[in-house]
Amino acid sequence: MTRLARAGSDAMHLHILGICGTFMGGLALIARAAGHRVTGCDANVYPPMSTQLAAQGIELIEGWNADQVALKPDVFVIGNVVTRGNPLMEEILERGFPYISGPQWLRENVLVGKRGIAVAGTHGKTTVAAMLSWVLEHAGLEPGFLIGGVPGNFGVSARLTNSRFFVVEADEYDTAFFDKRSKFLHYPARTTILNNLEFDHADIFPDLAAIETQFHHFVRTLPANGLIVANGADEALARVLARGCYTPVERFGAPEGWSIGAQDAGGFEVRWKREAQGRVAWSLTGAHNQANALAAIAAARHCGVAPAQAIAALGAFEGVKRRMELRGVVNGISVYDDFAHHPTAIETTLAGLRARVDGARVIAVLEPRSNTMKLGAMRDRLAASLAPADRVFCYSAGLKWDAAAALAPLGAKAEAHADFDRLLAALASAARPGDHVVIMSNGGFGGIHDKLLALLAQGKP
């Protein structure tokens, strides 16, 4: 095992491979804040991550040229985007230079000695981690965090503080080409949220049972003096916990634990064991965000924050970029950016918006970009997840399956386009005043948000 300096000791030079990914970019910011020299490379270096890193004095190199070994860092930190055959990785291996995965570096240099709070699950990890970080901040605990998105209350996806609390988004995706364990197995946590569990990551997991096994391994590492906050309505999580759990469990979404009481368009009542704790007043949409809030409140209580404090903090929660983020309103047409890329997330996002806008039209625009989507593992669920929308547009370039056939149950309200410009033109032509256009992708989607807003401003289809 590579021996590394911890934050606060002698500074090191880290060269990060895959630095423009959300996790590795956040790791770079944390390492820089700890006083280390950080450089990095990626296949594509572009804003906003490139500008965020450059602002912190982090030198970026585009591409995987083997001559980067001439930088002679103390250690190469390897992102899971890096595979065998990568020229730089091959040079590192051939010359015997020290390397480590991002999650392992985080554990050994940041999380050891902290009171770790891990947020795991198929959906909502970023939003719950952002909510919880804000609740702790509002309570004066100044937590560090590493989140897979940018919370509006902080403006950055990662930070290192002197606080003993550190919130980490605990991903079940594998760690690196040389470590096929899920990332979260590297994170020591006293407080853990298990938000939900469904099949995803079809490129590395054959089925849901394989993912449940990884969650089982994670649960077995959690201490008896900790707390698991688990979704009480999730059957897969129930199976995981039944396989062996040594940590106390509090459940949300269940009457015997944390639950929702009276609700309306402006908020909802929070209950603990059927006793009212207060009312969250906010404008976020969807039952999924209510469940996210319950998880954050429960975890915060384990960190010493009273439910009433957490509830007050959530009233000032500003959301997360790319989670139903309003990008603009032109001629009465609202355009949103959302990260949804799994049928469950797509359906809950659209249902939440539908409930808020009443009779207004909802237009869903989907780029099936994740590996799971590209492989077609979710194609049979796609039409039902998009059903709450009045019109549906799907970008089908690069898919290994027939998007038009998958959307056929939706009839004439759905169309698929393999050509980006034709998709954009059809979308601009279809939109009319009063519409709410939700663009869903876990990537940049060719800058479609700004391009659509510009076309609408020109009055051109």
d(CA 296, CA 54): 32
Q: Which two tokens stand for residue 345?
A: 């997330």
d(CA 369, CA 366): 9
Which amino acid would we find at residue 276? A
Helices 379-386 & 343-357 angle (0-180, nearest 10): 10
pLDDT band with cut points at 50, 70 and 90 for residue 47 = low
Per-residue pLDDT tens over the stretch 426-443:
999 999 999 999 998 977
pLDDT category of residue 1 using cuts at 50, 70 and 90: very low
Q: What does pLDDT average to over the chain?
A: 90
pLDDT at position 218 = 96
Residue 74 predicted with pLDDT over 90: yes
The single-letter DSSP state of residue 411 is G
- With a pLDDT cut of 70, the percent of the chain lying above it is 97
- Looking at the chain, the whole-number percentage of residues with pLDDT higher than 90 is 70
Please give the DSSP secondary-structure letter assigned to residue 109: I
pTM of the prediction? 0.83
What is the b/e burial string over 72-95, where b = at least 16 CB atoms within 10 angstroms of the residue's CB?
A: ebbbbbbbbbbeeebebbebbeee
- Residue 29 backbone dihedrals phi, psi, to 5 degrees: -65, -40
Judged by average pLDDT, the poorest of 204-213, 215-224, 439-448 is 439-448
pLDDT at position 138: 97
For the chain, what is the largest distance between any 2 Cα atoms, rounded to a whole number of angstroms? 64
Give the whole-angstrom CA distance, residue 350 versus residue 286.
Answer: 9
Q: Which two tokens stand for residue 230?
A: 């688990």
How many beta carbons lie within 10 A of that of residue 359, not counting itself?
Answer: 6
The token duo for 315 is 């009233």
Instruction: Average the pLDDT over 389-404 and give the result.
Output: 90
In this prediction, residues 320-347 reach a mean pLDDT of 85
Please provide residue 361's backbone torsions phi and psi, each rounded to the nearest 5 degrees. -75, 140
Question: Burial level of 3, CB count in 10 A (0-12/13-18/19+)?
Answer: exposed
pLDDT of residue 3: 36
Using an 8 Å Cβ cutoff, are 316 and 138 in contact? yes
Per residue in 149-200, pLDDT (tens digit) is 888 899 888 999 999 999 999 999 899 999 999 999 999 999 999 999 988 7
**What is the pLDDT, as a whole number, of residue 252?**
96
3-class SS shares of the chain: helix, strand, coil, % to 5: 35, 25, 40
Give the pairing type, strands 115-120 and 191-194. parallel
Model pLDDT, residue 380: 85
- Encoded tokens for 163: 């606080």
Q: Which amino acid, 180?
A: K
Domains parsed from the chain with CATH numbers: 13-101 (3.40.50.720), 113-314 (3.40.1190.10), 325-458 (3.90.190.20)
| Cα 446 off chain centre by | 20
Given this model, what pLDDT does residue 175 score?
A: 95
Query: Each residue of 273-311: pLDDT tens digit?
Result: 999 999 999 878 778 899 999 999 999 999 999 999 999
CA end-to-end distance (rounded Å), the chain:
58
Residue type, position 397, single letter: A
